[in-house]
Structure 1
Amino acid sequence: MSLHQRQQSPHQQQQPLVDPEPLSPRHGTGLQQRSISLFSPTGVIILLSLMVILGVLFPWMGMPAGLFSGNKDGSLSRWREYTLAEAAAFVGKNGTIIVCAVSQPYLPFLNNWLISIARRNHQEKVLVVAEDYATLYKVNEKWPGHAVLIPPAPEAQTAHKFGSQGFFNFTSRRPRHLLHILELGYNVMYNDVDMVWLADPFPYMEGNHDVYFTDDMAAVKPLNHSHALPPPGKKGRTYICSCMIFLRPTDGAKKVMKKWIEEMQLQPWSTTMKSNDQPAFNWALNKTYSEVDLYLLPQVAFPSGGLYFKNEKWVQETRGRHVIIHNNYISGFEKKIKRFRDFGLWLADDHIQESPLGRI
């Protein structure tokens, strides 16, 4: 809505609807009209009436709640009603969405991850699933439309240690989010934000498989290794990483997500069984592999942190072939940042202007 007044023609100026200078006397011939002072009793009554009318009409007109209050949080509160379907339509215009799930303590990692994605020109596909309202508001304040909160939000807004109940509560929502996006008809790539893109991963999503994933093991595989689901390990299941997944909106991919949800319900977190989402994901793959088209991504392009950060010889031998680096096999917020810095992968210090969020 423009607040600028349109210039009036000389004819219009002779018959004004509103005096352009209500506190100045009108000059000219003809009938003299008396102006109503803003500070007169009549003016005050009119002003109060107008405020009441606007107060009634604005909510129905979809005006921001904080328009006159000056409260930034009020103007951002509209994002509470922003749905996953709306967000997916906004970021998934080419049919593919890149998803992460973030709580407020991990905003620095989000920025670092986003810089690496922006360098591959895929940032407009990114949808941040905010796990608290502070993250929802912050991201949408800086980058409108790219964050959504799917109720209910977890109560705690702290950085959860791996293996804690808070960590389980946080990660257990993941397959539901992914399933919903698949049911909306989009391809979806999920990343944890302790990752950095060194190249474009999408050329590696070759073929039309249902589910693409990476091995979480540190043992070196042959460069021409099989893309089939690896054999189970000592615990009777595979060791596939649940932190980098690409899914097509097929019945097979939906079946895996539903099985993942089911497995997490069967193995909830307890003080004696400190579950996380990854074993359940592996059980889901192991129990559906005969019905679903699965694809193991090449290790050289998607190495685990246990390989990339701990096998310097392998890194040198395969340099130039790495695509997404995952900073796992280490726990602790500060430890992860330090390791990224040590390997030249913490971009948020010197390249913050490349993030769609800027400095947060």
Structure 2
Amino acid sequence: MLAGTGDMAVVCALLTIGLLQTTMARHLMSEQPSSALADRLAALAKDKTVIVTQVSCGYLEFADNWITSVDALDISNWLAVAQDQAALDYLSARYPGHVLPVTDLMSTGAEGGLEAGIDLLEWGTTAFSEMACTRPLYLQAVLNLGYSVIYSDLDAAWLRDFQKLAPKRLDVVLVDDSEAEEERRSDNTGTGLMRFNPTEKAKALLRDWHQMCQDDESNAQPAWNKLFTPEKRDTLAFHIMTKEIYPHSVLLAQYNPSKQRALSPAWVHANFQVGKERKQEFLKQHSVWKLEAGREYPTCAPAPEAFSALAYPWQPFERLAAEAVLEDMGVAGGHAGADASVALPGMSNRHRS
């Protein structure tokens, strides 16, 4: 028997609610963090602080190099979130007690377990965007357990301890990826090194960041900077580290002491360097690639997408470097203008971090 109009409205409403709940469940972390995460944080944290990073199969060399750098500083309160089974197996064997699978931090993926392991995920691919946009969930899971959290990218080496240099008791501490002379005026704060304290404002900021990623189908850094507006900043206790000690890679590569303020880097970050070889070469040029030769790594499955250039509002200092990257990677007519929309044949444009 057909339902009446009122009954149909109720059914439609219930179906809509169900679909919304299903969609939200794909993106929200578990409201009850896993006991494994709580136990691991209790064992690792120092001064109620833990450093978190993300690792996939294709990034294991960078993970080893980054861990070597923090180990040299006698830093042991770090936790690697393994994105796939290959990364989990490798890191757990080499660094026991410092690794958890992503399924212990998020409700997503818990049913099917971890994938076997895929190659290096490049910015500009859907897979990279999705991985980067889960980061706010990991960080929020740590805050919800009462700990401060520092996130660090792996294509970097620490030369000094960010925990000792960054101000404490603020909602968020950031680095600057812009050309701005005054960091507090930056329009491109970096997401490769961030500190959050377990304040309600910081938790709300992470929720909003993740939602911005979802709403814009964006990557982590563009979504973050769209959120981190002057109006938003006025509501937060925040600090942006000076570029003298946390320079981005373009500034470091083009540094001219006669024309620019003095640098005393506390880290070397290979951001804006695209591809494994280019990142490794940059770190080697700055004498921070410390891996011994002959180390063996698991075989990773090919990445699901080829590189694609993106529609992105490039900053002036990025443009020439980006155009060179596109040429190196065989993208014809790779002009990285303010409204550029360049992609390999058959690839859709995505957002960049």
Same structural fold, with TM-score higher than 0.5 when normalized by the shorter chain:
yes
Cα offset for 1:100?
0.5
**Code of the aligned partner of 2:200:** D
| SS of match in other structure, 2:195 | strand
CA-CA distance at 1:316 after TM superposition: 9.3
> Could you say which residue in structure 2 is the equivalent of 1:181?
142
Task: Give the paired residue count.
Answer: 254
Q: 1:349 to 1:312 in 2, by over 3 A?
A: farther
Q: Secondary structure at the match of 1:313?
A: coil
| Letter paired with 1:90 | A
Mapped pair 1:148 → 2:92: no
- Which residue is equivalent to 1:254? 203
1:339 aligns with 2:282: yes
CA distance in 1, matches of 2:281, 2:203: 37
- 1:135 alignment partner in structure 2: 87
One-letter code aligned to 1:188: V
Once the 2 structures are TM-superposed, how far is the Cα of residue 97 of structure 1 from its aligned partner? 0.4
Q: Structure 1: give runs of 5+ residues left out of the alignment.
A: 1-80, 232-237, 269-274, 353-357
Pick from 236, 247, 251 the counterpart of residue 292 of structure 1: 236
Q: Distance in 1 between matches of 2:59 and 2:192?
A: 15
What's the counterpart of residue 121 of structure 1? 74
Match for residue 131 of structure 2 among 170, 182, 206:
170
The alpha-carbon distance between structure 1 residues 314 and 161, as it changes in their structure 2 partners (threshold 3 A), is farther
- Once residues 284 and 46 of structure 2 are traced to their aligned partners in structure 1, the CA distance between those partners, rounded to angstroms, is 35
Q: Distance in 2 between matches of 1:191 and 1:326?
A: 10
User: Do the aligned partners of 1:154 and 1:170 also contact (CA within 8 Å) in 2?
Assistant: no
TM-score, length-scaled by structure 2: 0.67
Any idea what the Cα deviations from partners look like across 1:118-160, whole Å, max 9, x if unmatched?
11111x2010000001111211112212111122267562212
CA distance in 2, matches of 1:281, 1:331: 20
The DSSP-based 3-state class of the residue aligned with 1:181 is helix
Task: Give secondary structure in 1 for the equivalent of 2:102.
Answer: coil
Asked whether the 8 Å contact 1:308–1:315 carries over to 2, the reply is no
* 2:214 is equivalent to residue 265 of structure 1: yes
Contact 1:256 1:288 in 2 (8 A): no
Kept in 2: contact 1:212–1:247 (CA 8 A): yes
Residue 303 of structure 2: aligned partner: none
Is the deviation greater in 126-135 or in 143-152?
143-152
**How far does the alpha carbon of each residue in 1:214-243 deviate from its partner, in whole angstroms, 9 at most, with x for none?**
1112x373xxx45x3x25xxxxxx211111
The aligned counterpart of 1:304 is: 248
- CA 1:327 to 1:262, structure 2 compared with 1: closer, same or farther past 3 Å? same
Quote how far apart the aligned CAs of 1:312 are.
4.3
User: Rg larger in 1 or in 2?
Assistant: 1
TM-score of the superposed pair, with normalisation by structure 1: 0.65
Tell me which stretches of 4 or more aligned residues in structure 1 moved more than 4 Å.
Answer: 153-156, 314-317
* Match among 139, 146, 153 for residue 192 of structure 1: 153
Supply the RMSD in Å over aligned alpha carbons: 2.4
User: Aligned-pair distance for 1:210?
Assistant: 0.8
> Which whole-Å CA distance do the structure 1 matches of 2:81 and 2:223 have between them?
21
Provide the secondary structure at the position in 2 that maps to 1:83.
helix
Matching residue's letter, 1:85: A
Find the aligned partners of 2:237 and 2:260 in 1 and give their Cα distance. 33
Return the letter of the residue paired with 1:163: G
Q: Please tell me whether the aligned partners of residues 213 and 223 of structure 2 are also in contact (alpha carbons under 8 angstroms).
A: yes
Residue 273 of structure 2: aligned partner: 330
Whether 1:203 and 2:156 are equivalent positions in the alignment is: no
What stretches of structure 2 of length at least 5 have no aligned partner?
1-33, 104-108, 298-353
- Once the two structures are TM-superposed, the CA of residue 179 in structure 1 deviates from its matched residue by 0.5
Taking a change above 3 Å as real, the CA distance of residues 126 and 97 of structure 1, as seen in their structure-2 partners, is: same
Identity of aligned residues (%): 26
Q: Offset at 1:263?
A: 0.4
Cα distance in 1, alignment partners of residues 274 and 72 from structure 2: 27
Return the letter of the residue paired with 2:127: G
Is the Cα–Cα contact under 8 Å of residues 103 and 157 in structure 1 kept in the other structure? yes
* Partner amino acid, structure 2, of 1:211: V
